[in-house]
Amino acid sequence: MQSNFLVRLVDLTLLLLLSLLAIVKISDQEVVIPVSQDLEDQGGIPFPVKASVDFSGAMQVEGMGESTAQELAEISSESGRPVELRVDAEADALRLLEIHQVLESFNRPAVFLVEYMKKP
């Protein structure tokens, strides 16, 4: 009885396989398989020139001390690095616009991060 059942399962499996093969349509189109290529090193992302502006509007460039917007833009241009400027939320907005205009005149990319800083 078990062998008869096993033969029927094999028959059903073969019928299913043959029906699937009959359904499959063989196309004349050529399949193009994608080929992966090695990535080329296009250089690293330079670390930004980091600076901060306190509530009074004074600018500190990391590693240099107090600086002006003109000097910051020149440093960024010479090294080819963008600018990351952390600004106290209580700093004068006109001072920030002034810094932005100087950096823009030198065509330097910059990010302004506004945050509340501790007062000395």
pLDDT for 30-73, tens place per residue?
Answer: 777 778 777 776 777 788 999 999 988 899 999 888 999 999 99
Q: Is the pTM of this model over 0.85?
A: no
Asked if 88 and 53 touch (Cβ cutoff 8 Å), the reply is yes
Measured distance CA(111)–CA(84) in Å, rounded: 5
pLDDT of 28 strictly over 70: no
